[in-house]
Structures are given as C-alpha cells and as structure tokens.
Amino acid sequence: MEEISLFFKWAEQNVVGLLFCSIALNMIVLLLLLTATTSMNKYRNLLQGADGKDLETLLLNLVNKANHTFDKQSKIEEQLNNIQVIGEKHLQNWSLIRFQAFQNTGGDQSFAFAMLDAMGDGIVMSSIFGREEARVYCKPVNHGSSTYPLSQEEKEAIQKALGGVAK
C-alpha cells in the first residue's frame, strides 16, 4: 500500500508535467489518426476507378475485354487463312504468246493463252489461225504441266504465267 501512496504523492507533485505529457500524447495520437485517415482516403481513391467502380472490377473488365479481343483476333486470322487458300485457287497468273503458225499467213494471228492459279493449275488455250480455217484448243494444266501434249508456244505461255519458273 505504501507504494501506491508514494505514486499518488508523486503524481500530485508532478500534475502539471503529467498534464503536458497527456496533452502531447493526445496530440500525437490525433496527428497519427489524421495521417492514417489521409492515407486511407488516398488508398480508397487509388482503388476506385473513374466510373466509381473499384479496381478489382475494372481489372476484371479489362481481362474480359482482352479475352474478347483475342477471340476476335483468332477468328480474323482464321478468316484470313481461308481467304488466302481461296485466293490461291483463283486464276491469277496469265500469259499470252502470239505466233505465226503457217508461213503463208501474216500478223501473228495464232496464240497460246495460259490462265493459272497460284499452284500452277488452270488451262492453256490455243488458237491456230490459217487462211481457210481457225482452230481453238483448250487443255487442262495441273502444277504447270498437262496430260495432253503441249506445243512449244503453250509450254512458253505456261512458263511465263508461272513467272518463268516451273513450280
């Protein structure tokens, strides 16, 4: 009991100092509370998006949009590949060779005309022009060659249509 009474006696003698310590500690607590409140407001503002949504919702929306974009990109790449395959099948390479089939005709009226796709498939059409008649021949071409015999002019037309290189 004596220790308690000594403590109270000391407290009575130092009441002004204890009061200042109490005020100082309360001010420090108040300052810490104000700092914590400011930090929490900054943190809340950081986590809140422009539309008032929280950061998690914004990030989930971005992930969903990115996944949607990747899906669209995959579909576009698939469509592009399909278009490329289809495009290679169109007749896109051609060559016309005009020549004189007979000595007694002039003007290079005969011709060989090759129309091929990217793989070298298509047709070669020939017209042989003479004084009395004209004949037209059409032969299939597969990978730059035909199962039918080709004239030198037809072979030349096919080679030119292929870019001068046999494929």
Same domain, 82 and 110: no
Which of these three, 68, 87, 106, is where a domain ends? 87
CA distance 56 to 52: 12
Tell me the per-residue pLDDT of 36-52, one tens digit each, with 9 for 90 and over.
Answer: 999 998 887 777 766 66
In this structure, is residue 167 part of a structural domain? no
Tell me the per-residue pLDDT of 64-92, one tens digit each, with 9 for 90 and over.
Answer: 999 999 999 999 999 999 998 888 888 88
101/146: higher pLDDT: 146
CA distance 58 to 12: 60
User: What are phi and psi for residue 141, nearest 5 degrees?
Assistant: -125, 130
At residue 163, what is the residue type? Answer: G
Same domain, 129 and 71: no
Same domain, 110 and 152: yes
Q: How far, in Å, are 30, 50, 54, 143, 153 from residue 44 at the CA level?
A: 21, 12, 9, 69, 82
Tally of domains within the chain: 2
